[in-house]
Structure 1
């Protein structure tokens, strides 16, 4: 996982929240839903990065154990 990927996920979350709030303030339900979807996409990307990190960590652990044998 890279910092760029994390930043991209956070950017989507913030953009989504701004869009959602704009939709609420203007009474535009479509804009509000679009913002919620963008925020959800950002959260999903963030979770994906967590999974990538976990998998990479497990692979490193397995490789380290094999080297010690």
Structure 2
């Protein structure tokens, strides 16, 4: 996995976790949902890069 894409995936997951935590703390359902979505997006990016790496010679 390229270092740049790996960093983006981890940053996206971390930002999502922060947003979800803050959303729960203030009772904002929308922010909580957005945080979960960002985490899922980061995990998907990570999985995509892992798949690309699996097929590289």
Q: Relative to total residues, which structure has the larger helix share, 1 or 2?
A: 1
Structure 1: 5+ residue runs without aligned partners? 61-69
For this pair of structures, how many residues does the alignment match? 57
User: What value does the CA root-mean-square deviation take over the aligned residues?
Assistant: 0.6
TM, length-normalised to structure 2: 0.97
Q: Normalising by structure 1, what TM-score?
A: 0.80
* Bigger relative contact order, structure 1 or 2 (CA pairs below 8 A, ≥6 apart): 2
* Structure 2 residues without counterparts, runs of 5 or longer: none
Q: Which has the larger radius of gyration?
A: 1
State the Cα distance separating 1:50 from its structure 2 match. 0.4
Runs ≥4 residues deviating over 3 A: none
